[in-house]
Structures are given as C-alpha cells and as structure tokens.
Amino acid sequence: MTDLKPARILAIETSCDETACAVIENGRELLASTVASQMEIHARFGGVFPEVASRQHVLAITPVIQQTLAAAHLSLGDVDAIAVTRGPGLAGSLVVGVNAAKGLALGLGLPLVGVNHLEGHLYSAWVYNAGDTPPDEPQFPLMALLVSGGHTELNLMIGHLEYQRLGATQDDAAGEAFDKVARLIDLGYPGGPAIQRAAERGDPHRFNFPRAKLDSPWDFSFSGLKTAVMREVRGLEKKSNTLPVPDLAASFQAAVVDALYEKTMDAAREYRAKEILVVGGVSANQALRQAFLNQTEFRVHIPPIALCTDNAAMIAAAGYYRFAHGQTSSLDMDVQATWPLS
C-alpha cells in the first residue's frame, strides 16, 4: 500500500444533514461506519433546513459515535487520532461535529485532524470494507471528477494531498441542478434519486437540451440547462395538463451526464492521467456510473453507493493521509470552507 505509518482513525462528519462516524485503519480498511440521515425530516421543506439540521446533529452525535465503536469492537482507547470535517458545509452543522471532535481529542490526548469535505470525497475511492480483498489503489496522476449537490469540479490529483484544480461550475452544481429540475417536474426532494427513477422509463433523446460551451474547457455550467427545462415545461403545460415527466427527466439527465463525462475524459487525455476518479453524491447516479464504466480507455474508480453520499469513512481516509504526513490541527481549529485546505 504505502510506507506511511499504520494508524487507526476515528472520524466525524456533520457538514450538512447526515450525522456520521467511522473508523478506518491505515487509510483504507473500513472497520465500521454509521450514518444517521435526516432526509425524511427535511423532505417536508423541499431541502435542508439549517437550524433543524444542527439541532438533530446535537441529538445524534453521541449515539452515532457509540454505535460506530461498538460495531468496530473498539473503545476510544484503541484509536490513534480524531478526524473531523471542518468545511465546507452548513456552519451550525459543522460546529457540532468540530466541537465533538475537539472534546474527544482533548479528553483522550489524541491528535486532531481537520479535513476538507471535498478532499474526503476524493479519498472515498481508497476505502474498502474490512474482510474484503483490498482493491488496487488508484494510481497517480489521477483525473478526479468531484460532483455533488454543492460542487462540480475537475482536479488533477498528482499525489497524496497534492491537487491542481482545473475547473469548476460557474453557476449551479450538478446536484443542485438535479434538485431544481426535480421540483420543476414535481418529483420532490432529493432530486437526484427521483430523476434517476423517472428517467428509467423515459426517452433521453426526446428533448434536445443544451450542453453548455464555455471559454474554459474544464469549467461547467448547468444554469442554462435548468432554464431550458423550465421553458420546455412551461410550453408543455400550455398544451396539456399532463407532463411527459419520464422523458423530461431522461433528457435532462443525459445532458448532465454528457457534460460531466466528456469534459472529464478530455481532461484525462490532455493531462495524461493514468486513471480517473468519479466521486461525490452525484456519482451514485447510475447513468453517470455506466458512462464511465463502459469505456475502456481509462481505469475508473467510483466508490460504492454508500460512500458516494456524505459519510465519515471518507473523512477518516483523508484524515489518515494528513495524519501520516504530520498535518494535524490545533485544538483551537475553527470551521473553514476553503479548498484545498493548507
């Protein structure tokens, strides 16, 4: 694997509406992972209600940590460091996790490691379940497509903790576009899974929605696509009381997948990447996964579905590599949203 020192990391993730904890050994082997979701609570609001999210984190954080340790058959005395998401995310949610991690680190006399949430998504590609045969590690240089509800970007990963940001969305993130379009066609929240289910029954060629062309070859834009869907919906509503929801969903999804796939493949060729990572919540989308897995030009690493959405296993993995490289944080660490973290 690596000549880095062995370590067992306990990590906490509370950047949005999942309260999560995990324990990982040596940056890859997942001993236990717990995620307490608030999805049903926020569904009534059509999106995450920040104040409600932070209150739920307060209620869930201690039981989630205890459940994770029990599942791993470990005690707090068996871990070597505490990792925690310090940003980006909802400020009130982040504070709950950061304060819990500080308390554990101070009480146990352990190093504290602040992890950027986006960096965690990248390292989700290294994780495998304890007892499974370890898959091959991703090989550098890697072209990493990070695609989630709040972020869509391309990063060239030169080595561990070494990144070159090539491009990002100039407006809506892909996941954000899924949520907005789902509301337009009355599919509810969260939009990604709802559109995927509807698209399975639809014709992706019925509506020719735009693929944005930008001056920068590695940037993304989904605002125009969202507007095109809205105009199509408004036009259809004038003609009929019934919308062709499956066809709208399939055509929209195809436009998003095309943009993500083509730019990532072009960037991988341009920068001579050895392999590709596809990570983040939107990487759970089956059409996107198949687009990358069906090609044979590059080996592609996409985490299991459980590691695509927010979880603490990815934070523990990233935390291990920072800890192993001596990049720990002070106990007065605050939440921070910059990327990548210095």
Residue-range domains of the chain with CATH: 8-127+306-324 (3.30.420.40), 142-302 (3.30.420.40)
The three-state secondary structure class of 188 is coil
What does the pLDDT look like over 124-166, one tens digit per residue?
999 999 999 999 999 999 999 999 888 899 999 999 999 999 9
**What pLDDT, on the 0 to 100 scale, is given for residue 26?**
94
pLDDT at 1: 47
Instruction: Give residue 47's pLDDT.
Output: 67
Residue 126 token pair: 């290294």
* pLDDT at residue number 342: 38
3-state secondary structure of 315: helix
In contact, 183 and 189? CB cutoff 8 Å: yes
Predicted local distance difference test score (pLDDT) of residue 145? 98
Task: Give, for 158, the enclosing helix (H) or strand (E).
Answer: strand 152-159
Q: Which pLDDT score is estimated for 52?
A: 79
Ranges of the chain with pLDDT below 50: 1, 341-342
Look at the chain and count its residues. 342
DSSP 137: P
Distance CA 225, CA 135 (A): 37
Query: The pTM is what?
Result: 0.92
Q: Over the stretch 199-257, which tens digit does the pLDDT of each residue have?
A: 999 999 999 999 988 889 999 999 999 999 999 999 999 999 899 999 999 999 999 99
Q: How far apart are CA 29 and CA 27, in angstroms?
A: 6
